[in-house]
Amino acid sequence: MPTYHDPLQDADEASEALRGLAHASRVFDNPTDTYSVLGDLLSGVRSLRQVLDQLGSAHLVHRGRAHDDDGDHAIGASEALAAADDLHHAGTLLDGVEERVNAAMTHSGRIAWNAPAQRLDREAVSTEAPRRWLSVVFFQGSEADEVLDLIDRDGPDAAIEHLRNWDYGDETTDAALENGYVYDEPPSGQLDRVVTDGDYTLTYNPFMGHVSLLRSHPAAMSGPALDETDVVLAREAVSGVGPLDSRTPPSAGTPTSARMQQASAVAERDWFAGPARSSGSAGRGLSL
């Protein structure tokens, strides 16, 4: 959080935030989000312009204290004046950047983005072959951090391949059907990212710190239909918003057979609560 009074801490946090944005903006699953990002960037450019001016002024105001490494005041004062001049020039150049970003945001705001063709094809396929989704594994906290690091490093396909090790076939299917971890579509929150590879769907959220793998299953074999309340509760549970349902997938750290024996305890445990992620985890994987 910004302090509004400590330039060292705020500058460090601003640097980390920009590194995170540079990493996160490599792919936009929803191009509509670009407009909001442009608005925040425009605000950031204007603030950066102000910071450069203030840094230049600081060099001028304190140039009487400037010396070089050998204690020569004349050289130190000269360097302070040169730094102030370069900072002023950099701020002037940012005026052009602000103008261009503002124009780009105006053009972007006039775009109505259509749904991708892939989504339409997927809907057509689901009409021909109805299916539901069984929970295979769910991770949060430090366990999720390891998978999120794998996604950052090798991509979501590698994470799907890794998490398939927790799919025990019929045993996983039976456990999901018995405990109600079955969904008409993969539950996901607003900030979740969803990747489908064959019968598997990966949902992950680097901000909330959770990862989930689901496997498709023929709808006719999935038991009775889920009502709309079940689907809404599942989505709220995955996104971390709203009440938790007893059908929230359990932690993957427990084998499937053991999970079946602990079904009654699962309903009492909040798999999406738990302690806040450590500062080390929060900064994970943001370097480029």
* 1 within some domain: no
**200 and 229 co-located in one domain:** yes
* 146 within some domain: yes
**121 and 251 co-located in one domain:** yes
**172 and 95 co-located in one domain:** no
**122 and 226 co-located in one domain:** yes
More confident residue, 238 or 137: 137
The per-residue pLDDT for 242 is 45
- Asked whether the whole model's pTM tops 0.75, one would answer no
21: pLDDT strictly greater than 70: yes
Q: Which of 22-36, 105-119, 170-184, 186-200 has the lowest mean pLDDT?
A: 105-119
Q: Residue 79 is part of which domain span?
A: 31-108
* 25 within some domain: no
The per-residue pLDDT for 219 is 66
**51 and 127 co-located in one domain:** no
The per-residue pLDDT for 129 is 57
Name the CA radius of gyration of the chain, rounded: 26
More confident residue, 43 or 125: 43
The per-residue pLDDT for 26 is 84
**237 and 123 co-located in one domain:** yes
The per-residue pLDDT for 173 is 86
For the segment 117-129, the average pLDDT, to the nearest whole number, is 50
Mean pLDDT over each residue of the chain, to the nearest integer = 76
223: pLDDT strictly greater than 80: no
The per-residue pLDDT for 260 is 40
In percent, how much of the chain has pLDDT > 70? Answer: 70
**143 and 221 co-located in one domain:** yes
Contacts of 166 (CB under 8 A, 6+ apart): 136, 137, 172, 213, 252, 256
Q: Tell me the pLDDT tens digit for each residue of 45-96.
A: 999 999 999 999 999 999 999 999 999 999 999 999 999 999 999 999 999 9
Confidence of residue 111 (pLDDT cuts 50, 70, 90): confident
Q: Tell me the pLDDT tens digit for each residue of 175-207.
A: 888 887 888 888 877 778 888 888 899 999 888
C-beta contacts of 272-280 below 8 A and 24+ residues apart: 272/140, 272/208, 272/210, 272/237, 272/238, 272/240, 272/244, 272/248, 274/140, 274/141, 275/141, 277/141, 277/145, 277/209
**160 and 215 co-located in one domain:** yes
Confidence of residue 273 (pLDDT cuts 50, 70, 90): very low
**122 and 265 co-located in one domain:** yes
The per-residue pLDDT for 163 is 92
252: pLDDT strictly greater than 90: no
Residue type for position 145? D
**142 and 164 co-located in one domain:** yes
130: pLDDT strictly greater than 80: no
CA-based end-to-end distance of the chain: 23
Contact 186, 200 (CB under 8 A): no
